[in-house]
Amino acid sequence: MESIFHEKQEGSLCAQHCLNNLLQGEYFSPVELSSIAHQLDEEERMRMAEGGVTSEDYRTFLQQPSGNMDDSGFFSIQVISNALKVWGLELILFNSPEYQRLRIDPINERSFICNYKEHWFTVRKLGKQWFNLNSLLTGPELISDTYLALFLAQLQQEGYSIFVVKGDLPDCEADQLLQMIRVQQMHRPKLIGEELAQLKEQRVQKTDLERVLEANDGSGMLDEDEEDLQRALALSRQEIDLEDEEADLRRAIQLSMQGTSRNICQDTPQTSGTHLTSEELRKRREAYFENHSSEVYEGKF
């Protein structure tokens, strides 16, 4: 859809974007639309002056701001309509009794201009397919023939005024190209505000991640992962200590037994102390295992 001309929103210049997206090119600028608005203001002033330049209505009219434009870049339907007359195009209210009596299927039209409060946008057929060319979107939105009527009805329910554009639109590259091919759209374009918010959120998440990585000396581990690793290391050290102490105990028992054997071989009189020492070692060994078993279970919780 690169061939489709799509002006994105700048300030409050949606009327300009609407016209240029309709005509598929940079046909109008704010200066040109302002000139049309000033001309309309002057025509209105002259009509009001016919009732007398000293009348209360005339003085009140002069004190009021222009109804055709403002400093933000908004332009009225009269400005848009007069701009289109330059190209031989006319606007007809979609839900007017005159148009509804014609019973024209929307897919048989060529384009629509939609307005809600101070926002204008174009829905146009290019080639054999319809596109929503709203300047608030990141790109053109494909609208199927079956969905078009529902889309327009939904806009009306939301309070939009819809105008049918009558007349021959100027030739454009996109219309010629899409006469030969049909496009498919895998992902619908987002609103510009949503895309900016998503990019901002991604930047915040990236900054938070970098801050965490710096706090962990670049280890790349989050706090929860680090805690799990510390617990695993602690259990590992306990097991190593247990194995070392068991080895020391076994060596002590072995040395004791060797000492006992030497005493027997040397026919040295034995006392009950030899048996007590063996018993004491056995009890210590049992106590050791009981203590360390409880430590291991406590470590797991």
Question: Reading across the β-sheet that carries 161-166, which strands appear in turn?
Answer: 90-93, 161-166, 111-116, 119-126, 129-132, 141-143
User: What distances in angstroms separate CA 133 from CA 26, 211, 218, one per listed residue?
Assistant: 14, 41, 47
Query: From CA 133, how far away is CA 136, in angstroms rounded?
Result: 9
3-state DSSP assignment of residue 71: coil
Residue 22, CA distances (Å) to 16, 168, 267 in order: 10, 12, 118
Distance between CA atoms of 199 and 158, rounded to whole angstroms? 29
Cα(204)–Cα(211) distance, integer angstroms: 11
**Sign of the torsion formed by the C-alpha atoms of 89, 93, 94 and 98:** negative
Please tell me the distance from the alpha carbon of residue 220 to that of residue 211, in angstroms, as a whole number: 10
Cα dihedral sign for 135, 141, 144, 146? negative
Catalytic positions are 14, 119, 134
* Phi, psi dihedral angles at 129 (to 5 degrees): -130, 155
Contact 140, 6 (CB under 8 A): yes
